[in-house]
Amino acid sequence: MDPRRLGQILVAEGLIGDDELDQALKDSRAGGTTLLESVVKLKLLDEETIANFLGHQFGLEVTTIPADFKPNPQARALIPPELARRYRLVPLAVDRTTLTIAVENPGDVEAAEQRDIRQKSRIPPEAVLKLVVAPLSQVTAALAAMYPAGAAGSRGHNGPGSGGEITTMDAEQYALRHAPARQEVTHEDVTETLDPEALLAQASESVEVTSAEGAGEEYSIDVANEEPVMRMCNYLIAEACRRRASDIHINPTARGITVRYRIDGVLQIMPSPPPSMKKGVIARFKVMANMNITERRKPQDGRIKIKVYDRTIDLRVSVIPQMDGENIVMRILDQSSLQLDLKKLGFEPQEMEVYDTAIRSPYGMILHTGPTGSGKTTTLYSALSYIYDPKRSFCTLEDPVEYEMPGVVQIQMDHEVGLDFAIALRSALRQDPNVMMVGEIRDGETAGIAVSAALTGHLLFSTLHTNDAPSTIGRLVDMGVEPAYVGTAVRLIVAQRLMRRTCAECKQATTPTEEELKVTGVSEAEAAGGTFFKSIGCPKCSMTGYKGRIGIYEMMRNTPELSEAIFAGADSLGIRAIAESQGMRSLRGLAIQKWKDGITTTEEVQRVTMGGD
């Protein structure tokens, strides 16, 4: 891997600073060492941190090589000393199908290097190379024990560690490298057992590609349909599904493409396709999404459907032009992974009681607020599923319809023919609905119709983009809805966020530090009754320390006193004071409760609530 590229990833992950990277690169060039050696030498990072970071970046296991390491004769016989020294390989174990090799930097042993290793070694053609990551000094010591004659000397700086442009890997080899042991796939934990090699084969058969009439010269259909490009694009989607990603970001740069997956709400950098595939990958995704590949100046939207192990995956695709090409973001919609059990979303008992009462009301407006990606859609679908009754008429207005709900009339917005929320809502009200969901209130016209519906015997769910529950009142008033109508129609406002859970496999019990108590505002006496864990990182959670997310829900129910304040034009601070005096708990307080319950960490409390309410 190019040292500067590796260094940029270290900076992006917050492990070192820009100045420290420049210092390490200068030291590396001056001393003829690798960037990672310089980082350790300058004490910017320790070896264990580097090993865990690389394991996370490449999706590989991290191991330790004991000081009294004894070479495996069968494994050692497969790798000639010159290859082991050049690529810094420590063959650890071998069986009938797999050769396990420890490396200090997987970026130096990618597809081309693996082909070279196979050609010049005694590895059987059918054997799989399983790479694991070990700390630098342990690799050096193990090489010295395994190949005593100058083994720890030359690093082969004319090879992969020399800073050449080795930033990518072939999809098939990468899939083999990451393939877990085959096991029975269950519906309950399908994302943990998917075999990427099988995913590639399945994806290649299941992606439905539309015709590409009018292909241009630069993004030609020939390039988009090249076999390596097709397999790479299918693999990127399949691997995102295996890693439980919610979004795929394809970011073109001057030198190639950067691939990132949003996993548990946080973007993570992934190994990228070769720079030579840049145009082909972008064109291929546009073809798959039925877009005009000759149009490169305007934003476009589309959808892709792919089937992976009998799971139908829909992707909402957005393409927008930027300096170095077209930026692609794909939202993954997986019907099978949708959690519709309202009681498993993270509601505290107090908030669950308030919400249960509100959604069982015969009429009124229930609003969910929060930024994109805060779980509003999942909560709304869960609420509708929770109260669904075939004796009542349910109707949703969505843009787009993300998941199908049997028995519910779901209406897709179509702006090309003029079907927006306001027009659809007026028409839907003539369909005699009892319960309605409006995907989002975006303008005053839609807000006015929704309030009228809530005042005339309909139970109406919808969403708004505000930071907290009290400020939602001001937002509706700013849209032109009379305060008197707002105070009468609104029954409940829910502000929500998603927090990452600590990984159950690797979390460790801990005691809050003085700094953590100060940041969260929790006293020592309050902390004494809590259960606290810290995130460590393991292969199960891709070395992040977190796996899965849980919601926090700020519930502001309407009361006569609150209605009076709304009628009088109270601001959000005044409304919050009244709501909290009546039992509303803030997002900050709920996040701290999750921390005290051992579900998350102080870092997540700060990230999600930013130290405020």
β-strand pairing of 533-534 with 508-509: antiparallel
Cα distance between residue 351 and residue 336, in whole Å? 27
The Cα 394–Cα 390 span in angstroms is 8
| pLDDT for position 572 | 93
CB atoms within 10 A of CB 330: 26
What pLDDT is recorded for position 222? 59
CB-based contacts of 357: which residues, under 8 Å, 6+ apart? Answer: none
Phi, psi of 484 (to 5 degrees): -65, -40
Burial bucket for residue 199 (CB in 10 Å: 0-12, 13-18, 19+)? buried
**Model pLDDT, residue 333:** 86
**Cα–Cα distance between 584 and 468 in angstroms, integer?**
12
Longest CA–CA span in the chain (Å) reads 88
Q: Which two tokens stand for residue 404?
A: 């199908």
Q: 435 with 364: CB under 8 angstroms?
A: no
d(CA 588, CA 552): 9
Q: Is 554 left (phi over 0), alpha (psi -120 to 50) or beta?
A: beta
What pLDDT shows up at residue 352?
96
A 10 A CB-CB count for 334 gives 18
Torsions phi, psi for 19 (to 5 deg): -65, -40
- H or E element in which residue 30 lies: helix 18-31
Contact of 303 with 288, CB cutoff 8 Å: no
Token pair for 237: 């989607």
User: Alpha-carbon distance 517 to 502, whole Å?
Assistant: 19
What secondary structure letter does DSSP report for 142?
Answer: H
Phi-psi region of 589 (alpha: psi -120 to 50; beta: other; left: phi over 0): alpha
Residue 18's Cβ-count burial label (10 Å; 0-12, 13-18, 19+) is exposed
Global confidence as pTM: 0.63
Determine the Cα–Cα distance for residues 366 and 340; give it in Å rounded to an integer.
Answer: 18
Name the one residue in this structure whose structure tokens are 């690093």: 155
Tokens of 156: 């082969």
pLDDT in tens, 551-571: 999 999 999 999 999 999 999
The pLDDT, as a whole number, for residue 83 is 84
Q: What is the pLDDT of residue 162?
A: 33
Residue in 243, 456, 467, 442 with CA at minimum distance from that of residue 363: 456
3-state secondary structure of 6: helix
Task: Look at residue 612 in the predicted model and tell me its pLDDT.
Answer: 54
Return the H-helix or E-strand segment holding 539.
Answer: none
Q: What is the pLDDT of residue 566?
A: 95
Torsion, Cα 292 295 301 302, to 10 degrees, reads 20
The pLDDT tens digits of the residues spanning 433-477 come to 999 999 999 999 999 999 999 999 999 999 999 999 999 999 999
Beta partners for 317?
302, 330
User: Which pLDDT score is estimated for 206?
Assistant: 43
Q: Please list the ranges in the chain whose pLDDT falls under 70.
A: 1-2, 149-225, 309-310, 336-339, 611-613
